[in-house]
Amino acid sequence: MSSVFTLLKEVSNKVSNKVSNKVSNRVKQGVNGLLTIKEASTIAGLTETSIYRYIRKGKLTCQTVSDNVRQVKKVSKSDLIKILNSNGQTVSNTCQTPVKQSQTPVEQVSNRSKQGDKQEETLTAEKIKDVIEEYFENKQTKLMKPLEEQAIFIAGELKN
How does DSSP assign 113-141, residue by residue?
HHS-HHHHHHHHHHHHHHHHHHHHHHHHH
Average of per-residue pLDDT across 65-76? 84
* pLDDT for res 89: 38
Residue 103 belongs to a domain:
no
Residue 110 belongs to a domain:
no
Pick from 92, 110, 140: which residue ends a domain?
Answer: 92
> How far is it, in rounded angstroms, from Cα 79 to Cα 72?
18
Same-domain pairing of 13 and 86:
yes
> How far is it, in rounded angstroms, from Cα 16 to Cα 88?
5
Same-domain pairing of 17 and 88:
yes
Number of domains comprising the chain = 2
pLDDT tens-digit map of 113-138: 665 565 566 667 778 888 888 899 88
Same-domain pairing of 30 and 84:
yes
Same-domain pairing of 28 and 88:
yes
Residue 67 burial (C-beta neighbours within 10 Å; 0-12, 13-18, 19+): exposed
Domain that holds residue 21: 9-92
pLDDT tens-digit map of 11-53: 777 766 665 665 555 444 445 678 888 888 888 888 888 888 8
Tell me the C-alpha to C-alpha distance, in Å, between residue 17 and each of 80, 85, 86, 117, 134. Answer: 14, 8, 11, 22, 23
Same-domain pairing of 86 and 13:
yes
Residue 115 belongs to a domain:
no
Length of the chain: 160
The 3-state DSSP class for residue 152 equals helix
Same-domain pairing of 75 and 128:
no
The 3-state DSSP class for residue 46 equals coil
Average of per-residue pLDDT across 131-159? 82
Which is it for the CA torsion 140, 12, 30, 26, positive or negative?
Answer: negative
Which stretches does DSSP call E strand in 22-122?
34-36, 62-66, 71-76
